[in-house]
Amino acid sequence: MRMNDIILLVVIFASAAGAIFEPELCSPLQPYPLYFMMLLMFLSFLRINFESLLDTSLGSIKTLSILVLFKLAVLPAVLYWVALVVVPEFAIPVLLLSGISTGVVAPFIANLLDTELAPVLRMVIITSLLAPFTLPLLLKALAGQDVNIPLELMIRLLATVIFVPMLAVIVARRYFMGVLEKILPFHFPISLLIFAIINLGVFSKYSYFFFQSPSVLLLSLGVAYGLSVIYYLTGFLIVPKENSSNRIGAGVSFAIMNNVLVIVFSSHFFGPLAPTLAAMYMFPFFSMVVPIKILVSRSQWLSPNL
């Protein structure tokens, strides 16, 4: 892990701890995590090259279609059913985390693992466009009897959080490129501040829960690491063996998702367990890069140099 990754983890969990132990102090921020999430998405989309969608070859479209189908439908549904049997209280949080779009930082992780960036970029863009519609529908189809889901409101919320920042980036690149060039060098510290504000607003709302159920934190951490392993392995196994570099990218596209969006989104419609699992996923989100990098360097069936 790089120093920036360590700093990010410290900020994420220090802000969550501050909100849990001082909820009254942080309560004024509770109405605003959604708006700061949109700002975070804007900053993240600034680093995405939308021209990566221009590859229309048959092989690329076929692979992308299969990966999107598994990412947004098949894998979330399977993991939901498994969770219902193994850890039923986590079934909906697992579904939310598994069915959200590929993370906007996935290309950065892919670069660390020396894999091709274009397929990962395509997954970020396509799943971001589809997730506002597929995730609420998936929740309605699988868990509609267990939770009261305002389907139209959830679609509108997810679409707003993703599409408005995406369109804002397109417009800003066209008319305000000079301003963007001044912002980009400060991308990391601004993102850290936004992460902290989101955590302070969300976790202060559920402070009572952590004192009532501290064991849930450890269980959430275990579930998060288990999910991360499943996500990477699923991506590795879907892509044909001869295309080893894309195998790594597929694993990254599955395991690096917009979990911060799940924290904000789930806090609007669900109890404290869903944002807790999404927050605990921050640990495997970054720390799993190290064992995956070792696996890539030692495994013949994953090495991009074959």
Q: Which amino acid is at 216?
A: V
pLDDT 10s digits, 223-257: 999 999 999 999 989 887 656 667 888 999 999 99
The CA distance from 221 to 96, in Å, is 16
Domain membership of residue 154 (yes or no) is yes
Task: Decide: 198 and 263 in contact? Cβ < 8 Å.
Answer: yes
Domain membership of residue 27 (yes or no) is yes
Task: Decide: 92 and 149 in contact? Cβ < 8 Å.
Answer: no
Q: Which amino acid is at 43?
A: L
Q: How many structural domains are present in the chain?
A: 1
Task: Decide: 41 and 161 in contact? Cβ < 8 Å.
Answer: yes
Check whether 84 has a pLDDT greater than 90.
yes
Q: With pLDDT > 90 as the criterion, what percentage of the chain qualifies?
A: 25
Domain membership of residue 304 (yes or no) is no
Domain membership of residue 70 (yes or no) is yes
Is this prediction's pTM over 0.75? yes
Residue 203 C-alpha from the chain's centroid = 18
The CA distance from 49 to 177, in Å, is 14
pLDDT 10s digits, 249-301: 899 999 999 888 888 888 778 888 898 898 888 888 877 887 887 877 776 55
Domain membership of residue 294 (yes or no) is yes
Q: What is the mean pLDDT of residues 85-92?
A: 94
Quickly state the pLDDT bin for 305 (edges 50, 70, 90): very low
pLDDT 10s digits, 143-189: 876 666 677 887 888 888 888 988 998 999 989 988 888 888 888 88
pLDDT 10s digits, 1-43: 567 767 877 887 888 889 989 999 999 998 888 888 888 888 8
Domain membership of residue 305 (yes or no) is no
Domain containing 195: what range? 3-298
Q: Domain of 255: which CATH number?
A: 1.20.1530.20
Check whether 200 has a pLDDT greater than 80.
yes
Task: Decide: 302 and 244 in contact? Cβ < 8 Å.
Answer: yes
Summary mean pLDDT of the chain: 84
Q: What is the pLDDT of residue 89?
A: 92
Q: What is the pLDDT of residue 231?
A: 96
Domain membership of residue 291 (yes or no) is yes
Q: What is the pLDDT of residue 222?
A: 95
Domain membership of residue 110 (yes or no) is yes
More confident residue, 50 or 275: 275
